[in-house]
Each structure stands twice: as C-alpha cells, then as structure tokens.
Amino acid sequence: MLFLVTTDIGFETVLMEELRELEPSIRFIRVFSGRILFEAQPLSGILAALRSRIANNVYVVLHHFTNINSLDDIYKAVKSIDFTNVILPNESFAIRPERIGEHGFTSIDIGRVAGQAVIDSYLEARGIRLRVNLDNPDIEIYTELNRDKLYVALGITRTSLHKRGYRVFNHPAALKTTIACALLRIAGWTPGRPVLDPMCGGGTILIEAALASKGIEIPCFKLRELESNPVIDRVVPGALNAIKKLCREVSRDVRKRFIGIEINPRFAEGAVINAKSAGVDDMILFVVGDATKLLPRIVEVAEKELDLKLELSIFNPPYGQRMKPKDLENLYKGVVQLLRDLGFKRVVFITSAIDIAEKVLMELDPGPTKRLYVVHGTLPSYVYSIELS
C-alpha cells in the first residue's frame, strides 16, 4: 500500500529516519518538499505513519499519475479511479486540493474539477450521485498536483498530527510539536535522557520529550478523531483496534528528568498548565527567571537534588521580533557560552535569525556544528546542532 506523509519543509530526512525506525520494512518511493511517499504493508504502514512524532498529515494513496498538465487531464485521471470500495452511497465527501508549481489554474479549480470527476465516476459505476459536504464530510479525498504529478489519496488524519490537543496555553511564538520532536531526534536524544530548555516558552520541547519518555503514543491524542473516520478500517482492517491497543501501554515513570527556564512568569505558568494537560507535569520542572543568571544554580540543583546529569540543551530562542539585534546577539552568545562552561555536551536550537547566530558561532567557535535548512512556519530557518568542546 502507498502512503503519503507530510512534514515541515527541511525535516524530510529526519522523518524518514523515524519511519524506518518504526517500521524497517518501509520502502521509500519519493521524497519531495515536505512530503514522503512510501510503500509498506497496510497495517504496519499506517501504524508507523500515525505513530510518527514528526509527521503532520497521513494519506493512503489511491492512485498517482504523471504528465498531468491541464484541468482536463485532472478530470480524466480522477474519473478513472474506482471509488465504490472506499465511499458508501449514503456518505458525503470533500476534495482537499493542493497545488505545487506553476500552473494556469488554482487549487480551487483543481478541487472543483476533481470533485465533479468523483461524482461522475460514482454515478457511472453505481447510478448514485454522491453528496458533497465541504465542512464536515464523511470522506476526505486529498488531491495534490505537484508540478505534473497528480496524487489522489484518502485522508487518514482529519487534522494535522501536530495538533495534539493538550495545548491549553498558546504562547505567541509557539513551536510546533512536530518540530520539537524533530529537534529531539536531531540532538540524538533517547527517551528518558535529561534535557534542559533555557528559553522554554510554553514548554513544548520538554512536554514532547516527556510524552515520548512515558511511551504516550501520538494517535492516542487523536483517537476520537480517527474513530470518526470510516475510511481507516475500510482500507486497513483492524487499524483502529491496533491503535487502541497502543493507547493502553503507557509507562508510569514520574521522575523529574526535564528542566525548563522561562523569564516571563505568564509563559512559565502556561507551560505548567500545558504539561498538566498533557499528563506529564510530574516529569518536568519549570523555573521562572533569566537563564543567563540561573543556569549555574539550576545545573547544581539538578545534580545534587534530582540526580540529573545535564549534558543536552534544546531550545527555540527568540528570533528578534521583540528584541534589538544586539540584545539578541548577547542572549545567544551568553547562553551558548554558559552551556559550554557548565559542561554541556550538545546544544540544538532553531532560529530564523541566521545572521546573528552565524556571527555568534564564529566568535565563540563552540565546537563542530551541523546546520539544517528548514522552514519554520513561513520563516526560512536553520537548525543548529553543536558538539560543545
């Protein structure tokens, strides 16, 4: 079975590594901007995709076509697909169109033409005209035209997997949960290993680390939504039962392993609320204050009172919207220098303030540094992974 899984641009190889770890038999067919097309056995493939902590959306591909250059080509391609096995006569559907590349028409045009093709195909096969419901359809059909390649797929996730549902407090510059998990993987982090976030904001990085350490699976946050999608068990019989079984297997580890520092008391309180909502507040210690002043004491307390050896720091620092460039430079420089002085082994952070980050790293020369170009929201950014020396 063919699966299409999306992620944030730049994290494709990170997602591939995770999927391969979750299901070694996966065969990757194509990797393109923010998307991975892979082949796997139905049950193992859908479980790997839904268990991913880095993936955003999951689709089962019905068919893919090449040399699609016009709306007429799209209509003919979609109409050639037999939808009678995936849509019941009394069910409604919606096309979710997307277009990548230069074309003489819009994604709205694609949705209109593809929708008509589905109706006409079903009408010819069953003599029944399917209902369209754009707001709350029973079945969602994803139709993506990527240059001249057309992918027609069934939506497995109704909303992106990054929407875990635990975020009660919304930080004004919140990091996507899926990107937080990508940073953890880039850092070489393993569940249970202590992590310090010196600018933790709403706590996303630490909450995601705690969820993984407790073995709380991502589809468990989406269980009600997945159960509402009739297509899942229709295309992969037994998938929902397998997901429910995953949700019964949870670790009860309550040891404090993760520490977050946040200078804004309101944000720190929000991080605590989010951690409680996610069920992992027992594993995270949040501290209010300035990381550049508190770090030495925090490291000391962690080692003496919590028996934690802090060697890994992962964070999403301010990018400069509310700070002057010089203040931002001093913040980056101060935190990285302090982490090195305190014996940390690795630092990973994401920022769109690339010029400032590069200047700081050139001045400090903190150690071997890897850079990964990504798109964070709409901002071109770098993920920096530094081996401190």
Which parts of the chain fold into alpha helices (H)?
A: 12-22, 42-51, 71-79, 107-126, 177-186, 204-214, 223-227, 231-235, 239-246, 265-278, 291-305, 325-341, 354-364
Residue 306 has which token pair?
């919590």
Rounded distance between C-alpha atoms, residue 115 and residue 131, angstroms: 10
160 assigned to some structural domain: no
pLDDT at residue 252, as a whole number: 66
Phi/psi of residue 9, each to 5°? -60, 130
Q: Are residues 144 and 181 in the same domain?
A: no
Residue 90 and residue 150 in one domain: yes
> Is the whole-model pTM more than 0.85?
yes
Reported as a pLDDT band with limits 50, 70 and 90, residue 255 is confident
Per-residue b/e over 6-44, b at no fewer than 16 CB within 10 Å?
bbbbbbbebbbebbeebbeebeeeeeeebbbbbebeeeb
- Same domain, yes or no, for 188 and 150? no
The phi, psi pair for 354, rounded to 5°, reads -65, -45
Determine the pLDDT at residue 323.
82
Classify residue 317: in a domain, yes or no: yes
- pLDDT for 69-89, tens place per residue? 999 999 999 999 999 999 999
192 with 140, same domain: the answer is no
Q: Is 6 found in the same domain as 60?
A: yes
Answer whether residue 24 is part of any domain.
yes
| CATH number (domain holding residue 380) | 3.40.50.150
CA 79 vs CA 62, 76, 119, 134, 371: distances in Å: 12, 5, 8, 19, 45
CATH code assigned at 64: 3.30.2130.30
pLDDT given for residue 18 in this prediction: 99
284-288 and 258-262: which strand pairing?
Answer: parallel
- Is it the case that residue 253 has pLDDT exceeding 70? no
Instruction: Note whether 382 and 351 are within 8 A (CB).
Output: yes
Pairwise CA distance, residues 85 & 141, whole Å: 14
Query: What percentage of the chain has pLDDT greater than the value 70?
Result: 98
What is the percent of the chain where pLDDT is above 90?
95
Q: What is the mean pLDDT of residues 348-376?
A: 97
**What's the pLDDT tens digit per position in 210-251?**
999 999 999 999 999 999 999 999 999 999 999 999 998 676
Residues 181 and 128 in one domain: no
| pLDDT given at position 320 | 72
Residues 143, 181, single domain; the answer is no
For residue 321, the one-letter residue type is: Q
Domain count for the chain? 2
| 333: its two tokens | 């420089």
Nearest to 339 by CA among 306, 370, 307, 317: 317
**Cβ contact 351:323 at 8 Å:** no
Pairwise CA distance, residues 146 & 143, whole Å: 10
- Share the mean pLDDT of the chain: 96
Single out the residue in 155, 186, 206 at which a domain terminates.
155
Residue 231 lies in a domain: no
Q: Is 17 in the same domain as 136?
A: yes
Q: Which pLDDT tens digit goes with each residue over 139-194? A: 999 999 999 999 999 999 999 999 999 999 999 989 999 999 999 999 999 999 99
Does the pLDDT of residue 96 top 70, yes or no? yes
Q: Within this chain, do residues 63 and 104 fall inside the same structural domain, yes or no? A: yes
Residue 351 lies inside a defined structural domain of this protein:
yes
Q: Is 304 exposed, middle or buried (0-12, 13-18, 19+ CB in 10 A)?
A: exposed
In this structure, are 335 and 380 located in the same domain?
A: yes
Phi then psi for residue 119, to 5 deg, are: -60, -45
**Residue 285 falls within a domain, yes or no?**
yes
Question: Are 103 and 196 in a shared domain?
Answer: no
The verdict on residue 181 lying in a domain is yes
What is the span of the domain harbouring residue 27? 2-155
Q: Indicate whether 127 and 276 sit together in one domain.
A: no
Q: Distance between CA atoms of 41 and 23, rounded to whole angstroms?
A: 10
Task: Give dist(CA 314, CA 206) in Å, integer.
Answer: 9
Residue 291 lies in a domain: yes
DSSP 8-state code for residue 129: P
